[in-house]
Homo-oligomer: A and B are copies of this chain.
Amino acid sequence: MPVAHDDTRPLTLRDVSEASGVSEMTVSRVLRNRGDVSPATREKVLEAAKALGYVPNKIAGALASQRVNLVAVIIPSFRNMVFPEVLSGISSVLEETDLQPVVGVTDYLPEKEEKVLYEMLSWRPSGVIIAGLEHTDASRAMLKASGIPVVEIMDVDGTPIDSMVGISHRRAGREMAKAILKAGFQNIGFMGTKMPLDHRARKRFEGFTEALAKNGVEIMDQEFYSGGSALAKGREMTRDMLDRTPELDFLYYSNDMIGAGGLLYLLEKGVKIPEEIGLAGFNGVELLDGLPRKLATMDACRTEIGRKAAQIIAARVDNPDAEIEKEIELTPTIAYGGTLRRK
């Protein structure tokens, strides 16, 4: 039971020192399990600390030791289920170390990224994990100057500041295009998000159209949305697109949520899938397991990216000169589901 202390000032090491009759230094040693302390003193100190309800001040500790056990993690959004999964990969690895992730969100805005980064770096974290390879010049400069390990994640189509872990979205788009053509579809429509700043979606789209072009095929129709429930948007866009371009025989969605919306719509209409129309999404979200028909998709290796990135940080914090692989490309595989088969 914490014992009340005079005023409302937070407790300090000194309070514990006085309460236990042991020097501040020794109290500090006990509380950090550092150096040799006799079991007796140790006992006394722990008792006093607990009785008082002492919580160490990491700010002072960090300033004195010049070490901060935080890892800055910067992502575009929490709403896109992709990022929580990356975070859980990061957490699972960092939990084994004494490092702690601290998350910042950019809303896909470069200026906000810059601000968040500045804010986080000012806490002098031990490392940075940041989504994407595209940053403002100022952001790059800060990251370079920080002198701490930096891992850029999700994407490998570009040059990292320090190291990177991800998939090639360009290649992902190409692979999907090839699979669709191979399955015999030719009249292809595309639906995606209206987000010029989502570089990974853009790269997938570019890879996709590029691979089609190489085979003499061009997208017949395309539509981009923003805002609203992705599932509902997928439904609407699919309806509109098919009204507009009824000869389509395949729909490629830039994410699984809108793909699921499209799938539900088509099933309701009694459209034969994939005989009349084939479908594919992107991400491999768990949600798809519950749909009436499994949507073809491509796994973005989210958890694994998080794990690998955290491992790099942990290794470098442990030993700044550790020999580590600086560019890790994971390979997503196509899950064919029931919507991308030879028609």
Contacts and interface: CB of A to CB of B under 8 A. Distances in A.
Contacts of A62: 59
Contact of A59 (B100, B124, B290): B124
Contacts of A84: 78-79, 84
B53 A10 contact: no
A147 interface: yes
Contacts of A268: 292
Nearest to A116: B100
A229 interface: yes
Count of identical protomers in the assembly: 2
A263 B68 CA distance: 49
Given A58-B123, A88-B78, A124-B59, A142 B53 contact: yes
A291 interface: yes
A232 interface: yes
Interface string A83-103: 010011001000000001011
Given A79-B84, A103-B103, A147-B8, A55 B290 contact: no
* Chain A interface residue bracket vs B: 35 or more
Interface of A is mostly: helix
Given A84-B84, A286-B229, A100 B78 contact: no
B55 A121 contact: yes
A219 to B, nearest CB: 24
Contact of A2 (B58, B105, B124, B141): B141
A126 to B, nearest CB: 13
A235 B290 contact: yes
A55 B142 contact: yes
Nearest to A7: B147
Contact of A292 (B121, B229, B264): B264
Interface in A212-255: 228-235
Interface in A110-156: 118-119, 121-124, 141-142, 145-147
30 contacts: A1-B141, A10-B146, A11-B145, A53-B141, A53-B142, A53-B145, A55-B118, A55-B145, A55-B146, A58-B123, A58-B124, A59-B68, A59-B123, A78-B78, A78-B84, A91-B105, A100-B119, A102-B102, A102-B103, A228-B286, A228-B289, A229-B288, A229-B289, A229-B290, A231-B291, A232-B290, A234-B290, A260-B290, A264-B264, A264-B292
Interface of A: 1-2, 8, 10-11, 53, 55-60, 62-63, 68, 78-79, 84, 87-88, 91, 100, 102-103, 105, 118-119, 121-124, 141-142, 145-147, 228-235, 260-261, 264, 268, 286-292
Given A10-B124, A91-B105, 11 more contacts: A2-B145, A11-B145, A55-B146, A57-B124, A58-B122, A102-B103, A103-B103, A229-B286, A232-B289, A232-B290, A233-B290
Shortest 7 CB-CB contacts between residues of A and residues of B: A231-B290, A232-B290, A78-B84, A229-B289, A232-B289, A58-B122, A229-B286
